[in-house]
A and B are shown apart, each in its own frame.
Chain A
């Protein structure tokens, strides 16, 4: 099982490589990728350094070109594909079928992975991308139970990558318009969810309101720690009750099911978080490396260690973690 870790800048990239990532994934500094945040991502010379830093140490580097171009911007996505190919990256992570069509025609030897943003949850869907574009890996959305993942892995014509740790999308990726509905900026086309440009923190008489383009996502009382207003992790009223109607602030953590993921034949484990700090990716990469190594060496006796769980818990949203959809009762 390959460990695939995120990097939003060169220090993070070095941190993932130095702490044992098998592969690191990055994006360019524009809307061609799904972490289009200011001050994040790579251009020109830093990209070249990143490719060398990873590949000189025997690690792979993937580039996410995983948003959906509209006609007027399509050339920007082509340029991103070309730049990644020119620098000899190990794979492109792509969501849009038009971009895949371009990449496999222009760069027939370039390895393509189907991004989680393509929203592919079945072997039939994987076959579409495999037959049409020769893709060689698929990243599954975070909506399948562990039994369903096992079934897809069994039937899939290509290796399967799943999410192992990080912020949790509770909606099927690539088909979630909640943030675009509220702000007009779409994860699909702009590459950001609940963008900081539309966030407002307001002190009220009795605490703090967090708003996204004016919409009240949550209210925190005095002494309550106010979290970032990610739309699907706010508190809302449904009927009589105010609660986390969609999902609590929480992170996905699969340490407890690593042996099962290995057993069913998952090829790679992905860590979410290109927007996170170098210290974060260093810590998460180190824990995941230790856990995967232990799991591969001795799956029968593998147990997640308390220190790993504490380390991951401390950097998780709301300092809590979940198995998400892998675990049926979550659904």
Chain B
């Protein structure tokens, strides 16, 4: 199984982004997804910057893709998407059906990200005819469904699983980070910059439950499939996706690298959990509530 690095879901200062990808160049990850998939107001990194970062990573031997915005609202966002899909250097990860339409109309192969609902074989086969090269299993689906899909998936289509990261759970017209500061979205003052791993939302009895990341809502716990790597390998999963966090990502990538190469999971699991901002969950993969965490299976 290859390791991929998903797009940065948060809004980071420019130097942090460049530093992150500098470090990645020397990591064991084989694939890197670049770009802004959450909020079109986050423009500290320009499209040409992403292309430059992509070229450098490609020089270091990485497969590079550009991720598209997940929720499209304004005409200007569709315009940016058109430019993204029109680039001739990198394959695009479609996170909305508008991107699929543009890419397939142009005869380009593409990857579908977690923002695309592919729940059954008929949908997979349809997109395979349109140029699907790899798809990310929707994060709420478990091993049982993955097994059914893998057993009959179209030829030449690779499967990627969201392996480590706070789960992208929802997208809205409303910016919740701005709202939590009593600001409207149109005057958000880029508050997301203050929360490089999102802003915690707790229940009134103190349970860390969700994380506000602009217009996106995430799980507070970090979804981790580290305990299920043998099952995923046996099911023929091609790629494991690691979603960037502000601290610890280089070591997290190494942990997954060691685990895929057969290192015992117990010690790695302990170390991994110590690197996560609010603990782990893995319920979705086990056909349960996504927030559940099964220690016995997770080892």
A residues adjacent to B (C-beta < 8 A) = 68-72, 74, 95-99, 101-102, 118-125, 127-129, 131-132, 142-145, 148, 151, 170-172, 174-178, 180-184, 186, 188-189, 213, 215-219, 232, 235-239, 241-242, 245-247, 324-325, 328-331
Q: Which residues of B have CB within 8 Å of A145?
A: 73, 173
In the complex with contacts A124-B101, A176-B169, A239-B199, A188-B117 CB distance below 8 A: yes
Whether, in the assembled complex, B59 has its beta carbon less than 8 Å from a beta carbon of chain A, the answer is no
Contact B175 A101 (CB under 8 A): no
Question: How many whole Å from A114's CB to the nearest CB in chain B?
Answer: 10
Given the complex of chains A and B, what is the CA–CA distance between A292 and B129 in angstroms?
A: 44
Question: How many whole Å from A75's CB to the nearest CB in chain B?
Answer: 11
Q: Interface range on chain B: under 10, 10 to 19, 20 to 34, or 35 or more?
A: 35 or more
Question: How many whole Å from B203's CB to the nearest CB in chain A?
Answer: 4
Contact B204 A325 (CB under 8 A): no
A68, A219, A232: the one within 8 Å of B117 (CB)? A68
Q: Which single residue of chain B is at the shortest CB-CB distance from A105?
A: B122
Contact A144 B148 (CB under 8 A): no
Q: Which single residue of chain A is at the shortest CB-CB distance from B177?
A: A238
In the complex with contacts A98-B121, A329-B184, A331-B186, A184-B204 CB distance below 8 A: no
Contact A237 B203 (CB under 8 A): yes
In the complex with contacts A72-B148, A128-B98, A184-B288, A216-B120 CB distance below 8 A: no
Contact A246 B123 (CB under 8 A): no
Contact A181 B169 (CB under 8 A): yes
Given the complex of chains A and B, what is the CA–CA distance between A13 and B61 in angstroms?
A: 62
Contact B126 A238 (CB under 8 A): no
Q: What does DSSP make chain A's interface, helix, strand, loop or mixed? A: mixed
B residues adjacent to A (C-beta < 8 A) = 70-75, 78, 81, 96-98, 100-102, 115, 117, 119-124, 126-127, 138-141, 144-145, 148-149, 152, 167, 169-176, 179-180, 184-186, 199-207, 209-210, 212, 217, 219, 283-284, 287-292
Tell me how many residue pairs across A and B have CB atoms closer than 8 Å.
Answer: 211
Q: Which single residue of chain B is at the shortest CB-CB distance from A245?
A: B201
Given the complex of chains A and B, what is the CA–CA distance between A69 and B120 in angstroms?
A: 6
Q: Which single residue of chain A is at the shortest CB-CB distance from B100?
A: A128
Question: How many whole Å from B83's CB to the nearest CB in chain A?
Answer: 13
In the complex with contacts A119-B117, A181-B289, A102-B122 CB distance below 8 A: yes
Beyond the given pairs A119-B96, A128-B97, A325-B174, 4 more chain A to chain B contacts, judged by CB atoms under 8 angstroms and listed by A's residue number, are: A121-B73, A125-B97, A238-B200, A242-B204
Q: Which residues of A have CB within 8 Å of B141?
A: 70
Given the complex of chains A and B, what is the CA–CA distance between A118 and B202 in angstroms?
A: 30
